[in-house]
Amino acid sequence: MRLTCVVVAVMLVAGSAGGLRSAAPTSAPAGTLALLDRYERGEHEAVFAELVRAGDATAVLKDLQSSGSAWIQARGSAEVRRRQLVAASFALEAAVPHLWPEDVDPLVEWGCELMRKRGSAADAPEHLWQLASVAIFGRARDDGRLVTRAGPGAPLGSHVPPPRRAIDHIAHAEQRIPEEPRFRLAEAMLAATLADTEPPRDAPWISTAQLPRNSDGAMRRARAAQAIQLFEPLIEVPALRAEAEVRLGYLKLVLHEFEASLDHFAQARGTDDVFVAYLARFLSGRALDALNRRDDANAMYRSALEVVPHAQSASEALAANLFLAGAAGDAYAAAQDALSGDPRRGDPWHEFGYGDRRFIPARMSALREALK
């Protein structure tokens, strides 16, 4: 079975995964090109709703591959550059509702090829497109599978990592706009997705030196070390510093370097980015809990809830600590507080493992404005 965050899974509509390389029809069904025409006319929200309802990324991709070029050329050379951006943006709209890389990556790459055909210089609209596309690409996740039937080399219950993604879209975006620092952070966040799984809390911690070299735990720790190397230079980039500190701190927490993780979180708590400020406090609480400093941990959870009231992750952690300390009434109140908030507001912790997913709505909105 695939592993993914339940909260994101229920928010997004998963699409079909098969048939990407089946033969393309000689002409696209009217539906896709009709949607593309409507999208060009500015019916962005309505077209997106239709794409969500249909839920078939493969069919849209095949139609774009077979007839997208003709649609772009249909109004002559003077319109090609603008229509390339429209079609590439439509491909992103088709990718947004999907979660698995096999659905998302081909649509993003189809649009990226159009961007590369527009010439060597990326203009402002393309910058918006690349920002949105990297957020969508980095959000897509396949954490591999658990072995439910034992076989040679695959013991029951073991974890099989996902195949390497065939497309490195973040590298393509960096080639087009090398001065955009967010792409460097996206690269590090994507590397961290293969390293951020925490070990079971009911199992004793085993030092890295004692782990079998090819065990899942040893490989994850090696990938965590590699991701740390990508994040560390980003501390020197002012626009990225706070988030890089939080993500470094989390990797240190996963590696049981709790004091070091607290140092990183402390550097990020003063940011005006609510997402990062909450995580700096919530994860500080997690690290303090691991050090058995419960009162300090609870203070951090309360501080996190001042930043994002009613957030489920901090409320549950606080409630659990209070209950174990014998303060059942306070624990129930903390749990009830989490239920009293607006579920649409979201919890930064639920977004943490999905790159720049939190920016997708705003970035797609900005891209739509650029198409008008």
pLDDT of residue 343: 67
pLDDT of residue 199: 66
Average pLDDT, the chain: 87
Residue 360 within a domain: no
The whole-number average pLDDT for the span 220-245 is 95
Tokens at residue 38, please?
């409507």
Read off the pLDDT of residues 162-182 as tens digits, 9 standing for 90 and up.
777 878 999 999 999 999 999
Residue 182 within a domain: no
221 lies in the same domain as 311: yes
Measured CA to CA, the distance from residue 284 to residue 287 in angstroms comes to 5
Read off the pLDDT of residues 192-203 as tens digits, 9 standing for 90 and up.
987 766 767 777
Residue 223 within a domain: yes
Here the CATH number for the domain that contains residue 306 is 1.25.40.10
Q: Where are the alpha helices (DSSP H) in the chain?
A: 6-11, 30-40, 44-54, 57-73, 77-95, 101-117, 124-139, 169-176, 181-192, 216-231, 241-254, 258-268, 274-290, 294-307, 312-324, 328-339, 348-351, 360-371
137 lies in the same domain as 251: no
213 lies in the same domain as 167: no
pLDDT of residue 6: 31
**Higher per-residue confidence, 21 vs 223:** 223
Read off the pLDDT of residues 20-56 as tens digits, 9 standing for 90 and up.
233 333 344 458 999 999 999 999 999 999 999 998 9
Q: Which residues contact 290 (CB under 8 A, 6 or more apart)?
A: 253, 256, 258
The whole-number average pLDDT for the span 338-360 is 88
208 lies in the same domain as 140: no
36 lies in the same domain as 165: yes
The whole-number average pLDDT for the span 113-132 is 92
Residue 24 within a domain: no
Residue 200 within a domain: yes
pLDDT of residue 30: 53
163 lies in the same domain as 269: no
Residue 185 within a domain: no
SS3 145: strand
- The H-or-E segment that residue 160 falls in is strand 159-160
Across 131-144, b (16+ Cβ under 10 Å) vs e yields bbbbbbbbbbbbbb
pTM of the model: 0.85
- Looking at residue 290, the DSSP 8-state letter turns out to be H
Residue 50 within a domain: yes
Note down the domain range covering 271. Answer: 194-352
Residue 187 within a domain: no
Q: Total domain count for the chain? A: 2
Tokens at residue 277, please?
């400020």
